[in-house]
Structure 1
């Protein structure tokens, strides 16, 4: 064996129990009793307080590389490893060029080559006029496609109008792929008052619940008509949950995600000028947050991913919500932020892993990760669920130290991360032999 991990707490088939996990050539090859006699090049005994989990999978990450100084593959994947994330899927939006052609995808891959601490895959972009590029992108290995129904904020990545959206969805259906949709309605946002000043209520009014309701209705209708598999990204408004639930019951092939910032923060606690909380769609009320949690627990929402959307600090430096870049930097803390709120609501590690490992892996078409089982890739995370730590944004591995989580106490600590059996992160100060 290359590696044997022994732990008194391992998440296996939805239950936490003692086990040893043996790895050869990057794959879990045996799972047995804690004291199973096995020879291995590396043997690790985890502390009693640590649970061995599948590595987290984050399918909504903006690395913004090449072409910007907002984030890079080296920093993003170091942050991911420290957060227990073993696979991330990069969004096609804020790099230069945007990932709407095979040539742009290859530019992404060149930027990533030799700079990644964890596994990285890519979504392709859908913009007006590039439907013919989708099949070549699929052949080149993108995990699926992403589009916007309102302005993305990047003129190189325009929104799809309803007719274009339906045509793109039909093509995605023919390819047997999946279309990820930023589901905010352009017509609703265009008719809403623009944000201005330091008052967060102004930002909320500029992107009302109705924007998500209108867009999700279009997504459901188009998915029903085309038979495409569709995924709604970053649901922030609980008002769309009844429509999503009804569509699922009717057999529409639709899934949906939310993000830790919608599950952790509330509009009521955003301070005047708190532009580090600005996200599109926005963080909404405490009552809305409770309904999102209910939607997760009843299966209307399928998964939780970060939407790590960093930018240069100067774009977050103005306290005017009308001028700020809408995005939250959160990759390294995303699983812990979710666990902090989940555990406070009586949710266990099995549910956490389902939302943050198994279902994101399934969305991106990965059948070899997201669970600990014989034959699965040995993507693993040693996680202390009871530890508490204060986040210091300047100490995170993200390229820029701007985050609404700065100063927040989160539950959980990552002790070690392995990708295909190789150690990619080890917490400093651990007892000898606890991690490689």
Structure 2
């Protein structure tokens, strides 16, 4: 079976695992406007190399952000002809754009994301309580979903003399209480409006009990965590190693184990990459100043082996990988009738991989545009051998289909909120 060839050919995969292609519902592609950080061509090649057959692009850090219908159309134009895997798109909620939300739903965005704290880029401002109530009123009855970067500014005692090159200085600046208070706000809104809500990149285990209480009270609320919160811990981050910086921050090892326990208990619904790359200069590697460096980790290509390397040691099975990295992420963005499952009628999206084989992450094998990652030199378990997109072989053993075969996935408006909630 040749790269780019379609169903009808035979691909002998031996003893390898054949699974649904991964659906990574949290990816910052950054095109248009910040293609030096990443772009559709490089991001989706990296996805294919990692067994990811569907990515869902975040509304920032592109310029312009995906916050109006015109900006969404611009995003679609820029992505055309550049995607090696299928791509869907989130819209954004920012102050004053509530009347743009329903037109974007009709045009096919998967849902919306907002920030409760500074986003890191000026063109995507965070929302206030007033903005959220206005947005919720527009989203009621649409079946759409609102994603929250759930941190709130909480006054902390400043330590003027703390060394900005020590990771602990950055960690202390974004304590668990910021997530706890933000998620308190989310749960109240979710219960008031009964609009589907989703908490992205949960880093702290402390809000989990509050989330469960809201769910028991009828809140249509889901939550994700990321590979870096499950793979890394604050104690092992060296001084000046700003490639480890992300927001919310990587917390301690005890917290990490609580996240794994919550994942096993079904209290966390899915695992994503939150691939958020930048150019090397923005990581301030020379100064090693965590307070000034860009917060974001690149891992789109390595999500499957990152997860499996840790999960397999904690009693997780291959069926859990499918559920957490394919099925639930597809459900979140309304793609579960098409993606994330090896069921009749679904797209023939497959990842073929060897869960026993180990490999070391080396710069030459990284397909992201910028090679900065905290995982450089790390040995992982689980090698992606081939990736098949809608029956076509798009990646095999380091080689790619010569032409990008990915399509734009425009999500039909969901008829009722209840229909979406039934998926979970």
Q: Output the TM-score relative to the length of structure 2.
A: 0.89
Q: 1:44 to 1:283 in 2, by over 3 A?
A: same
Equivalent pair of 2:49/2:398 in contact (CA under 8 Å): no
The reply on whether 1:158 has 2:125 as its aligned counterpart is yes
Distance in 1 of aligned mates of 2:128 and 2:184? 14
The offset of 1:428, in angstroms, is 4.6
Structure 2 residue corresponding to 1:125, chosen from 76, 88, 92: 92
What SS does the corresponding residue of 2:141 show, helix, strand or coil? helix
- The residue that corresponds to 2:367 in the other structure is 397
Check if 1:135 corresponds to 2:102. yes
State the partner residue of 1:88. 55
C-alpha contact (below 8 Å) 1:223/1:230 kept by paired residues: yes
Give the match for residue 359 of structure 1. 328
Q: Which SS does the other structure have where 1:127 is aligned?
A: coil
Query: How big is each residue's C-alpha offset from its partner over 1:209-268, in whole Å with a ceiling of 9 and x where there is no partner?
Result: 000000000000000000110000000000011111111222210000000000000000
Bigger RCO of structures 1 and 2 (CA < 8 A, at least 6 apart): 2
- SS of alignment partner, residue 231 of structure 1: strand
The residue number in structure 2 matching 1:346 is 315
d(CA) in 2 for partners of 1:196, 1:394: 34
Question: What does residue 78 of structure 2 align with?
Answer: 111
- Tell me by how many angstroms 1:376 deviates: 1.2
**SS at the partner of 1:42?**
coil
- Structure 2 equivalent of residue 12 of structure 1: none
| Matched ranges for 1:144-183 at <5 A | 144-183=111-150
Any idea what SS the aligned residue of 1:319 has?
Answer: coil
Moved over 4 A (4+): 189-196
- Whole-Å Cα distance in 2 between the matches of residues 189 and 107 of structure 1? 39
Deviates more, 1:316-325 or 1:251-260: 316-325
Judge conservation of contact 1:79–1:396 (CA < 8 Å) in 2. yes
Asked if the contact 1:61/1:308 (under 8 Å) is kept, the reply is: yes
Structure 2: tracts of 5 or more residues without a match: 400-424
**Shift in Å, 1:192:** 6.1
Q: Quick check: which one's strand share is greater?
A: 1
What is the aligned counterpart of 1:322 among 287, 291, 305?
Answer: 291
Partner of 1:410: 380
Q: Aligned partners of 1:44 and 1:143: how far apart in 2?
A: 33
More deviation, 127-136/371-380: 371-380
CA distance in 2, matches of 1:249, 1:351: 24
| Structure 2 counterpart of 1:17 | none
The DSSP-based 3-state class of the residue aligned with 1:77 is helix
What is the CA–CA distance in structure 2 between the aligned matches of 1:181 and 1:121, rounded to whole Å?
18
C-alpha contact (below 8 Å) 1:393/1:405 kept by paired residues: no
* CA shift for structure 1 position 393: 3.3
Aligned Cα RMSD in Å?
1.7
Q: Which residue of 2 aligns with 1:425?
A: 395
Task: State which structure, 1 or 2, has the greater radius of gyration over its C-alpha atoms.
Answer: 1
TM-score under structure 1 normalisation? 0.87
Q: Does 1:56 align with 2:26?
A: no
